[in-house]
Amino acid sequence: MLLSLVLLGLSLLSLAIPGDLEHVERLIERLPVLSDHGITARQLHGYLSGPGPFPQNPSWEPPYPTTFDGYCAPNASQTVGTFAGPTWPSVTDLLKRNEFVTRQGTQLELLGEPFRMVGPCVYWMGLDENVIPDPSYPSKTRARVLEIMGIVSAMRGTTIRAHTLGISFGNALSVEPTPGVYNQTAYEAIDFAILAARIYGIKLMIPLVDNYNWYHGGKYQFIGWNGIEWSGTGAAITPPDVGAYFYNTTAIVDMFEAYITEHLNHVNQFTGIAYKDDPTIMAWETGNELSAVIYNDGPAPPEWTAEICGLIKSLAPNHLCVDGTYGFYPETGQLNVTEVDIFSDHFYPRDIARMQAGYALTQAADRVYLAGEWDWCGAFSSFRLCIWLTVARRTGQYGGDTIQDWLYSLFWSLFGHDDKCCLYVEHNGK
C-alpha cells in the first residue's frame, strides 16, 4: 500500500515536471558544470522529477567532494538535506515540491496543510560581495549553494529570502547591466539556486529591487538610467530625497516593470520551468526595505505597491506578493492594498512592541504578517534572543487564530563554507 502510494506520487511528479531523461541528457551536455561535478543525467532527472536528496535509486551522493585534502570534510549526514526525514519521503512531501504556497486570510498553506514560513535570508546566491574577486557569482562548482540548502533543510527551514535572485542591476555581472539589456550569463547562478531549492523542497521569497545602492544595484540604477543625478553608497545618497523618483516618474516605473516582466518570464535552464510558473518560488517582494522614512524619502506609495503587485499577479497568478515597504504606515492606506498577501517588518534591534503592533495591523487587515529580517547575532542592543523567540511564538499562538503556532520569520542571515569547504565565508568580514 505504502509502496504503491509512493509510486503514484512519483508518477504524478514526473507528469508535472517538464524534462524527460533525454531532455536532461541534452541539458547535461550543454552544462559541463554539472557533469564536471559528477552529476549524471539520471541523477539530475531524479532531482527534477523524483524525491530529491533522499535514499533512492540511484542512491543519493553529495554532489560535492566529501574530503578535501584529507581534512575538514563536510559531514554528509549533516549537510545533505533531511527535508522529509532520513528514509523515504512521504507522498505528501514529494507532492509539496510541485505545489504552490497559498494564502488563506492571515495564514499560508501548502497542499492543504499550514505552511510555516521560517528560515534564513541568504542574499548572496545570485552574486556575492564577500569573495575575491568582489563581486563574483557564488561558485563555479555550486558547492556553496548546495551546502546552504542542506543546512537550511537540516535546520527544518522551509523558506529562504534571497535578494540577489531578484535584485541584479548596473554592473557587468548583473542580469540588467544597462537599461533594457539582459545578460543570460548572470542567470546561470540564479537558475541554479532555484534548482537547488527545488531539490531540497525549500520555497523562495525573492525581492525585486533594493532601497539602497549596494554592489547588486537597486532603485538608484533606474533613477540614474533616466538621467537623474545622484551619488553615494548604501543608504548615504545625495540628494537624500532623490529615491522618490523611483515611484513618481512614469518612465522609471515602466522600466522597472519591464525588468519584472523579463525576469518572471525567464525560463530556468536547469528545470525548463519559467520563474512565473515555478512552485519553488513562493513569493515576490516589491523590494527590500523600500523607502524607510529615516532616509527622507517616505514609505513606498500604496498606489505604486498596488500596481507592482498587480503586475506580478498578472504574470504569476500562483505566486504571492509581499509589500517591500520597510514597516507599517497605516495612515497612508498601505494596508488597504488588496493585491498584497504579506506585509513585513525588519528588526534591528529586535523590538517586541513593534512586532506585536505590526502583527495586530495585519490580523485586522486579514493578511499575513512576516518578520522578514531580524538581528540573529544581537549586533544591535536587543531583547535577549530567547525572549524574542518566546514572544514571537506566543504572538502567533494567541493572536486570535488557532492554526499558526509560530510567527512567520526569517533571520538575518546565513553563510556557509567557501568553495573549498574549509573556511567560512563571512559577511563583510564579520
Chain residues in the site for ligand NAG (CB under 6 A):
75, 77-78, 172-173, 177, 181, 183, 185-186, 241-242, 244-245, 248, 333, 336
Instruction: Name the minimum Å distance from CB 178 to ligand NAG.
Output: 7
Which lies closer to ligand NAG via its Cβ, residue 177 or residue 327? Answer: 177
Instruction: Name the minimum Å distance from CB 161 to ligand NAG.
Output: 24
Which lies closer to ligand NAG via its Cβ, residue 173 or residue 309? Answer: 173
Across 172-293, the runs of DSSP E, i.e. the strands, are 203-207, 231-233, 236-238, 281-285
Which lies closer to ligand NAG via its Cβ, residue 59 or residue 250? Answer: 250
Instruction: Name the minimum Å distance from CB 171 to ligand NAG.
Output: 8
- Closest-by-Cβ residue to ligand NAG is 333
Which lies closer to ligand NAG via its Cβ, residue 2 or residue 172? Answer: 172
Number of Cβ atoms within 10 Å of the Cβ of 36: 10
Residue 325, CA distances (Å) to 122, 257, 287, 292 in order: 19, 17, 7, 7
Number of Cβ atoms within 10 Å of the Cβ of 145: 24
Contact 8, 14 (CB under 8 A): no
Instruction: Name the minimum Å distance from CB 193 to ligand NAG.
Output: 15
Contact 265, 274 (CB under 8 A): yes
Quick check: bond before 413 cis, omega within 30? Answer: yes
Which lies closer to ligand NAG via its Cβ, residue 183 or residue 318? Answer: 183
Rg (CA), the chain: 21
The one-letter code for the residue type at 276 is K
Instruction: Name the minimum Å distance from CB 263 to ligand NAG.
Output: 16
Q: Residues near 86 by Cβ (< 8 Å), separated by ≥ 6?
A: none
Instruction: Name the minimum Å distance from CB 244 to ligand NAG.
Output: 3
Residue 124, CA distances (Å) to 12, 84, 154, 170, 301 in order: 34, 26, 20, 16, 28
Instruction: Name the minimum Å distance from CB 16 to ligand NAG.
Output: 32
Of how many residues is the chain composed? Answer: 430
- Longest distance between any two alpha carbons in the chain, whole Å: 68
Which lies closer to ligand NAG via its Cβ, residue 46 or residue 358? Answer: 358
Which lies closer to ligand NAG via its Cβ, residue 232 or residue 349? Answer: 232
Q: Residues near 355 by Cβ (< 8 Å), separated by ≥ 6?
A: 345, 347, 371, 391, 392, 395, 407
Which lies closer to ligand NAG via its Cβ, residue 181 or residue 386? Answer: 181
For 213, the grid coordinates are 545602492
Which lies closer to ligand NAG via its Cβ, residue 186 or residue 320? Answer: 186
Listing DSSP states for 296-360 in one string gives: TS-SPPHHHHHHHHHHHHHH-TTSEEEE-BSS--GGGTGGG-TT--EEEEEESS--HHHHHHHHH
Which lies closer to ligand NAG via its Cβ, residue 133 or residue 429? Answer: 133
Instruction: Name the minimum Å distance from CB 90 to ligand NAG.
Output: 22
Which lies closer to ligand NAG via its Cβ, residue 182 or residue 376? Answer: 182
| Cα–Cα distance measured from residue 280 to residue 125, given in angstroms and rounded to the nearest whole number | 15
Instruction: Name the minimum Å distance from CB 140 to ligand NAG.
Output: 12
Number of Cβ atoms within 10 Å of the Cβ of 358: 22
Instruction: Name the minimum Å distance from CB 83 to ligand NAG.
Output: 16
Instruction: Name the minimum Å distance from CB 330 to ligand NAG.
Output: 7
Number of Cβ atoms within 10 Å of the Cβ of 335: 20
